[in-house]
Amino acid sequence: MKKLQKPTKLQILKFIRYCLIVIAGNAVAASAAAFFIKPNGLVMGGTTGLGILVENLLTNAGKAGAAKWAGNVTVYAVNIALFILGAVMLGKKFAIATAAGTLLYPSFLSLWQLVNGLLNKLPSGNPFYLRDTDPLLAVIFGALIFGLGIGIVVRVGASTGGTDVPPLILNKYFGIPLAPAMWILDISIVLLQLIGGTEFPDVLYGILIQLSASLIVEKVALIGTKRAQVKIISRKYEEIRRMILDKLNRGVTMLYGKTGYLRDDCYMLLTIVSNRDVIKLKNAVQAIDPEAFFMVSIISEVRGNGFSSARVALPKSVEWQGEASVSDEAAVSQDKKSED
């Protein structure tokens, strides 16, 4: 049996940071529903939308006193049921990633609703009264804050669970695309609010909230991770290679190819730089070879050794041999410096 190793201080700090981010993300997402969406009679998808549906049905049935309590219990119950279903159908990895969100989100939702209720009992005119917020403002800020919270959670690889589970199961077992399935499910929950007596304009607002929040999630999840991928074709590839390594402190990969017209052998340099370094790299390349072919494309994320490492310094005695199709510099890291 393999002996378990004691976690390092860095691993413990990373785990604490991960937990704090997941807690903060769920708290932010729940605040959007508690302060902007529910108090203003708006609706949304997900388990929160199912809770709103139960509240509206009970309110219309003359049981307004139990409506809010029943709505919160619905969010808890559906989250836990879907978590169990996901753990069985999607495995242990899913369960670990969503366990916290399954309980954190409905807990924060209940807490923020209590806080909002207390704030609205303050004397009239207090600046924290949100019940009569303009509907469009409530939609905008509700979607923005909800998307921000979920995006924070998604960014660290966690999940709030809930109605994400059915689309994940459909994707795993039937190959149904994930994003369309999630959108269809959430918008269907919003449309169900018509059964609970929600007026059609408010349902349209709910669809707008759902679509806007999805866009915010995508943006937040990728903030700070986008980089520029640069490809360079030049006869002076060796000078440019050295410039990238020595002056820009970036790794570089050499890809072998042939020109399309004359079919001459050539090398294409591939490197990843921050967006602010693109102009610096372009100017440096043009200074070396004004005729160089320079291509830039934006990529969503970069992971792996060599990009965020300490300065890459090759031994001066090392000379490029010109035979390998891929150089080793892309794998140079702070802990290990490779030679060509």
Residue 229 has pLDDT above 60, yes or no: yes
User: Which range, of 92-106, 120-134, 267-281, averages the lowest pLDDT?
Assistant: 120-134
Retrieve residue 275's tokens: 């967006």
* Type of residue at 150: I
* CA–CA dist 290, 298 (Å, integer): 23
pLDDT of the residue at 132: 62
User: Confidence class of residue 320 from pLDDT cuts 50, 70 and 90?
Assistant: very low
Q: Which one, of 201, 209, 195, 160, lies nearest residue 47 by Cα?
A: 160
pLDDT classification of 338: cutoffs 50, 70, 90: very low
Q: Could you tell me what percentage of the chain is helix, strand and coil, using 3-state DSSP and rounding each to the nearest 5?
A: 60, 10, 35
310, two tokens: 């300490």
Q: Return the bridge partners of 257, or none.
A: 266
Residues 161, 135 contacting (CB under 8 angstroms) = no
pLDDT in tens, 147-160: 999 889 888 877 77
Please report, for residues 77, 182, 254, the alpha-carbon distance to residue 108 in angstroms, rounded to integers and kept in the order given.
15, 23, 51
Q: Is pLDDT above 80 for 313?
A: no
Residue 3's pLDDT band, with cuts at 50, 70 and 90, is low
Q: What is the DSSP letter of 51?
A: H
Buried b (16+ CB within 10 A) or exposed e, 58-89: bbeeeeeeebbebbbebbbbbbeebbeebbee
Q: How confident is the model at residue 275 (pLDDT cuts 50, 70, 90)?
A: confident
3-state secondary structure of 129: coil
Whether 327 has a pLDDT exceeding 80, the answer reads no
Confidence (pLDDT) at 175 = 85
> Residue 331 above 50 pLDDT?
no
CB neighbours of residue 103 within 10 Å = 15
Residue 230 binned pLDDT confidence (cut-offs 50, 70, 90): very high
Query: Left, alpha or beta for 4 (phi > 0: left; psi -120 to 50: alpha)?
Result: beta
Highest mean pLDDT, choosing among 10-14, 67-71, 197-201, 292-296: 292-296
pLDDT tens per residue, range 68-107: 788 889 999 999 999 999 889 888 777 877 888 888 999 9
Going along 63-128, which residue ranges are E strands? none
Using 50, 70 and 90 to split pLDDT, how confident is the model at 26?
very high
On the question of pLDDT at 237 being above 70, the answer is yes
CB neighbour class for 111 (10 Å; exposed up to 12, middle 13-18, buried from 19): middle
Give the mean pLDDT of the chain.
Answer: 81
The CA distance from 56 to 40, in Å, is 13
Q: How many CB atoms within 10 Å of residue 309?
A: 18
Q: Residue 63 has what pLDDT? A: 83
The pLDDT of residue 336:
36
Note the pLDDT tens digit of each residue in 130-181: 666 688 889 999 999 999 998 898 888 777 778 888 888 888 888 888 778 8
- At residue 334 the predicted structure's pLDDT band, cuts being 50, 70 and 90, is very low
Task: With a cut of 60, say whether residue 333 has pLDDT above it.
Answer: no
